[in-house]
Amino acid sequence: MHQGPYFLSVVLALTLADLPPVPAPTDTTHAAYPWAKPTSWDIAIARDDEPGPRFIMSGQVFGPDSMPAPGVDLYVYHADIQGYYARKRGQMNRLAGVLRTNERGEYRVRSALPGQYEGYAAHVHFDVWEKGHPKRSTFANLYTLLDAPRVPEWGIQKTASTEWNAHMALIAVDSSGVYWCHHDLRLSTMTEFPASYDSTMRALRKREEKAAPH
């Protein structure tokens, strides 16, 4: 069974998520390891042929001093339009990537619109990594603006006119059907990973590196 966003942030969904009881679409995996070294603040995590409307999410990361935080490494991932994180048990998240905030603390992620599963709102996960180790995490549930058209692919659609907590992000759609979202992240509101999770990630990294072709 799928677990809620808090649980997924803690266990990274990438190895534990059960698959929805519907046929999986063609695998267009764009896999990225969370411990990989970022090369940009602006990343694409879905191929052009990934099913679903286009989705662009951007914002700034702020440190504990409420100032923009440059050089923050983020692992970003979400379910695809049908609610899948992966095609098979044990696979990495399909729609995922790593980035490093720029000198203004900015990030941008270009993808396909996240889907829903088991009654949960569509959401995006953000994990902070430092020197190859997971440190803290958060997520953002996606809300449409009050006057926005309904998202056909969503069974549940939450609406709002403003963000009233750190886990809300508002989306709007333009005339070409692209969904846009601006959402700022604050390190002070994120959940810290327990030390045991670092051990889990080290074991996963060792497994993946051992299985990689040489």
Q: What is the CATH number of the domain that holds 202?
A: 2.60.130.10
Average pLDDT of the chain is 87
Domain span at 169: 5-211
Closest CA to 17 of 8, 9, 25: 8
Q: Would the pLDDT of 19 be above 80?
A: no
Q: Would the pLDDT of 11 be above 80?
A: no
How many angstroms separate the Cα of 14 from the Cα of each of 61, 77, 201? Answer: 24, 9, 11
Read off the pTM: 0.87
Written as six digits, the tokens of 189 are 């509101």
- Judged by average pLDDT, the poorest of 29-33, 122-126, 137-141, 173-177 is 29-33
The 10 Å Cβ neighbour count of residue 184 is 17
Closest CA to 78 of 188, 164, 162, 171: 171
Please compute the mean of the pLDDT values over residues 16-41 and round it to a whole number: 64
| Structural domains in the chain (count) | 1
